[in-house]
């Protein structure tokens, strides 16, 4: 693919990611902020010692950086344990959340656009719209959903600050392994297609990916931060559903927007004869 075409598609990917991020922000604000606020209220009601819990560290990677933008940051004001918010909760849930989601949307939009340029014409006889949908779906599964199954998002009231580094490293390790195994599965499917047929090769590659990731999930260490006793199960469920929903909205919006933009960008120009105006008949 010519570099000029790649550049045009990259710009369209960034734009699609920005718009999809805006839609995801609306979803995060209307659906996700409720569980976050309720989780913070739970922690405050139980009067946890200052510094005992982290606020959003467990959900930062798992939610793709969106909920982390509205994490309840605080610092101990004195030895008595009084807390002073470094950033107001209103600012966290509006400007902070919007910044995090939009930056994340633009970043994944650019990366997905480059992946689209590589995948177009190499993963089957799919047009731009279908290829965009496949890339977005594969990214959602490998980059978010499969790692989420091993290390699910936790609300702000859950998590020990001493384990933030370990949890973050494990989550990004899971993402890296998922992406690498996913790429290997695509290559395997391409090589098996001439012998097994496209459908059978795709199923075999998908099953291979699932088996390898299941083994890795079993081998990798678990999240050591247990859910506190008495924490409402419904609230935890709502928070994790909102985290998944945010990613679904983001990637679905990107696939639809970028697929349309890419299809128009790659559409062949009309022949000169068709573009020329028709001369008026002589009188």
Write the pLDDT tens digit of every residue in 133-178: 999 999 999 999 999 999 888 877 676 667 777 888 889 999 999 9
pTM higher than the cut 0.75: yes
Determine the Cα–Cα distance for residues 108 and 128; give it in Å rounded to an integer: 18
CB-based contact 101:32 (threshold 8 Å): no
* CA distance to 67, 113, 153, 160, 240, per residue, from 57 (Å): 10, 29, 9, 9, 14
**pLDDT of 39-50, one tens digit each?**
777 777 765 454
The CA–CA distances, whole Å, from 224 to 2, 58, 148 equal: 49, 11, 15
């Amino acid at each position: 693919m010519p570099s000029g075409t790649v550049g045009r598609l990259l710009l369209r990917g960034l734009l699609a990611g920005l718009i999809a991020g805006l839609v995801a922000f609306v979803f995060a604000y209307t659906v996700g902020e409720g569980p976050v606020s309720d989780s913070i209220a739970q922690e405050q009601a139980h009067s946890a010692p200052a510094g005992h819990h982290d606020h959003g560290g467990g959900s930062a990677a798992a939610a793709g950086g969106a909920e982390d933008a509205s994490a309840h940051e605080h610092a101990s004001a004195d030895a008595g344990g009084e807390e002073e918010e470094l950033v107001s909760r209103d600012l966290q849930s509006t400007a902070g959340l919007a910044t995090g989601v939009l930056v994340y949307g633009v970043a994944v939009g650019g990366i997905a656009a480059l992946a689209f340029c590589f995948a177009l014409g190499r993963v089957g006889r799919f047009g731009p719209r279908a290829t965009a949908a496949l890339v977005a779906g594969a990214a959602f599964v490998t980059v978010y959903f499969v790692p989420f199954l091993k290390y699910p998002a936790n609300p702000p009231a859950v998590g020990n600050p001493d384990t933030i580094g370990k949890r973050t490293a494990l989550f990004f390790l899971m993402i890296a392994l998922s992406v690498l195994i996913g790429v290997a599965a695509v290559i395997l499917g391409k090589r098996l297609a001439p012998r097994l047929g496209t459908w059978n090769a795709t199923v075999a590659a998908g099953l291979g990916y699932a088996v390898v990731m299941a083994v890795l999930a079993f081998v990798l260490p678990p999240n050591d931060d247990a859910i506190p006793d008495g924490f409402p199960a419904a609230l935890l469920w709502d928070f994790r559903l909102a985290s998944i929903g945010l990613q679904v909205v983001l990637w679905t919006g990107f696939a639809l927007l970028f697929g349309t933009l890419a299809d128009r960008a790659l559409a062949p120009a009309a022949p000169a004869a068709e573009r020329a105006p028709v001369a008026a008949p002589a009188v």
